[in-house]
Structure 1
């Protein structure tokens, strides 16, 4: 605009714009002269949009919704069934109940590499996605999957695929793989109890087998078949007391994974163990090391060995039965806590999720109209630059401003 200052006043007054009405009329004039372009260019863009919408690969989306398991305090009921009054594992659920969003665990498991690899292999997605590397296939699957947790506590899994049938199958497969993973990982409190008790149960089972084999071999070597009724009852009672102490020590070890020493249930279980040990000490007072009133000087060494072997077998039998009950109760609690309840099973979608053809064509036409208007205005101003000094001055000022901006 600085060039207009150098013109004579009368010429400058003639060239200056007379208001927005003249500018609007000029713009409409330019658009009227380019009316063919304004019609043909949006039409061309619309045709391109239609072609793209028709040729683009259709994608179908299927979704499933399920309610994840909720934590339940099954420890007290378990110990009540076992006859351990009130103490034990009732506080184990507190460790897992402190999460702000319990669903985050299950969402993380669904998004884990293990679950996605299972789907990649089951549906042969690497060949379908035409990816060279396995990680690339996993990334494509991740982009086509959406996992969300709602305010209602439900988790939804939606999957997009070129095949409507496969999209539904993949969404449902996520839930199946989650169930498998939950059986392998101790997610809930009951699952952690079950895993711990099973480990102890298997160890005791092996020791019981070894003790039974040792007792049988000793009987074959010494010829001793059985003890008298009094001695056998003593051995049974002694083994049962020791097994009760060992069973409660296992329960206490399990509790220490979740509770501190100040926990009332931990203190109660410790008191029960102390009481049983005192009872065991009173029972064995006045007896020999094996808890049996036998004069060792009058009894052959083979008989003493038999008493020790029998006591060991009885001890592991009692401990085996106690741990077996605990494992079964932990499995029942785990089944309750690990039950995924599917609210909506993914079904084969009847409508495609993309491409949205009407929207694509509409956007293409709008884009074509915008480009046509820009082209009409720019070409009109370019043609007027020679005949209209004001237009020439404006274009020159615009060019100077643009060069100054880019140079800066």
Structure 2
């Protein structure tokens, strides 16, 4: 029975097979050193951007969803924040393609076409959006100057794309507002004609003044009629039917009742009734028609005022859209412009060589212990191995 292995036994194996362990390590170290020397060098430049505070126009009615809400509440409600929109634009082919064309990255990367260069640039581009909305852009280039220029060019291209998008939005909004204003102006003209036709057809000039006049006239007639009926009642008790004063009072009472009927709106027969009706038309429609006419007139007037308010609102928005269209203010604040890096970001030559050495050292050590164990196989185990070999040879001629 074999005794337990000690550290000296393991150390003996390492010393015995030292050439098997050391020479592969030296070879791998030399080979990896040569490989890392020919790997293309990369430098990384970084810039930090902050979207400018948006100035939403009065046309944006849904202010509760504005990205300017405190604490990024707009993002919590499902709407993208300015930083998230900026990140989306950064990853677009429009921006990346412009950088590829500007710096001739197809030749720099040694790729076949522009699409592959865009994909390569995207793989070399890193972006991070902080909680306060700042966007950090890092890009790798084949030289320190190229990396810094590409990072600053990305910031400039982002600003140009956002400005162009805002101008296009302002153009579309201005066109919509202009067309809408023409439509509303036409509606105002139609509503104004409707009010004019209504006034001419119904004899209405001033609803409040005419209504007040009709009510006062009615009150006056009713008051006069009440006094006259009192006098007539006294006359009927004290005077005969053919008495001249009694007859005169009855005629006056009949005339007041007739005028009251005309004022209220009851139609009277005969030419006299028409003449009297014409004389009362100077005050406007009969009193009983004023409630419905007043409601109809108020509705027409309200519709006209609403249309005028809409026109005033659209006019203000049109001026705001024209201002936005002409505005050319920066949309991004460059907090930290990219500078030429002093140290390369890739390849990490020392790390690559160390990893290769460690792997080869581990592999050589495992191989040394394997060979050592093969040399110490017992005769019984050797016979078993030989039997396995023969059985394998028979099954696989």
Aligned residue among 64, 79, 95 for 1:115: 95
Q: Greater CA deviation, 108-117 or 363-372?
A: 363-372
Against the structure 1 CA distance between its residues 150 and 390, is the aligned structure 2 distance closer, same or farther, given a 3 Å change threshold? farther
Gaps of 5+ in 2: 68-73, 201-311, 393-397
Against the structure 1 CA distance between its residues 174 and 140, is the aligned structure 2 distance closer, same or farther, given a 3 Å change threshold? same
Partner of 2:120: 140
1:234-282: CA deviation from partner (whole Å, max 9, x where unpaired): xxxxxxxx979549x9xxxxxxxxxxxxxxxxxxxxxxx9xx9977865
Against the structure 1 CA distance between its residues 369 and 390, is the aligned structure 2 distance closer, same or farther, given a 3 Å change threshold? farther
Query: Does the residue aligned with 1:341 lie in a helix, a strand or coil?
Result: strand
Query: Could you tell me how far 1:67 is from its partner in structure 2?
Result: 0.7
Work out whether residues 384 and 391 of structure 1, in 8 Å CA contact, stay in contact via their aligned partners in 2: no
Query: Could you tell me how far 1:152 is from its partner in structure 2?
Result: 3.1
Partner of 1:310: none
Against the structure 1 CA distance between its residues 243 and 380, is the aligned structure 2 distance closer, same or farther, given a 3 Å change threshold? closer
Whether 2:344 is the aligned partner of 1:352: answer yes
Query: Could you tell me how far apart the structure 2 residues matched to 1:357 and 1:60 are?
Result: 14
Q: Aligned ranges for residues 1-400 of structure 1 at < 5 Å? A: 14=1, 17-21=2-6, 24-75=7-58, 89=59, 91-97=61-67, 98-100=74-76, 101-102=80-81, 103-186=83-166, 192=169, 194-200=170-176, 246=185, 325-331=319-325, 339-385=331-377, 388-389=378-379, 392=382, 396=385
Query: Does the residue aligned with 2:351 lie in a helix, a strand or coil?
Result: helix
Query: Does the residue aligned with 2:137 lie in a helix, a strand or coil?
Result: strand
Query: Could you tell me how far apart the structure 1 residues matched to 2:32 and 2:9 are?
Result: 32
Q: Which has the larger radius of gyration?
A: 2
Query: Does the residue aligned with 2:46 lie in a helix, a strand or coil?
Result: strand
Query: Could you tell me how far apart the structure 2 residues matched to 1:320 and 1:284 are?
Result: 28
Query: Could you tell me how far apart the structure 2 residues matched to 1:326 and 1:172 are?
Result: 32
Query: Could you tell me how far apart the structure 2 residues matched to 1:284 and 1:181 are?
Result: 54
Query: Could you tell me how far apart the structure 1 residues matched to 2:345 and 2:121 are?
Result: 16
Query: Could you tell me how far apart the structure 2 residues matched to 1:93 and 1:174 are?
Result: 31
Query: Could you tell me how far 1:18 is from its partner in structure 2?
Result: 2.9
Work out whether residues 48 and 134 of structure 2, in 8 Å CA contact, stay in contact via their aligned partners in 1: yes
Query: Could you tell me how far 1:383 is from its partner in structure 2?
Result: 3.1
* RMSD value, Cα: 3.9
Query: Could you tell me how far 1:319 is from its partner in structure 2?
Result: 11
Gaps of 5+ in 1: 1-13, 76-88, 205-241, 250-272, 288-317, 404-408
Query: Could you tell me how far apart the structure 2 residues matched to 1:363 and 1:322 are?
Result: 68
Query: Could you tell me how far 1:354 is from its partner in structure 2?
Result: 0.8
Query: Does the residue aligned with 1:174 lie in a helix, a strand or coil?
Result: helix
Against the structure 1 CA distance between its residues 342 and 391, is the aligned structure 2 distance closer, same or farther, given a 3 Å change threshold? farther
Query: Could you tell me how far 1:126 is from its partner in structure 2?
Result: 1.4
Query: Does the residue aligned with 1:185 lie in a helix, a strand or coil?
Result: helix
Number of positions where the alignment pairs a residue of Structure 1 with one of Structure 2? 269
Query: Could you tell me how far 1:49 is from its partner in structure 2?
Result: 2.2
Against the structure 1 CA distance between its residues 280 and 91, is the aligned structure 2 distance closer, same or farther, given a 3 Å change threshold? farther
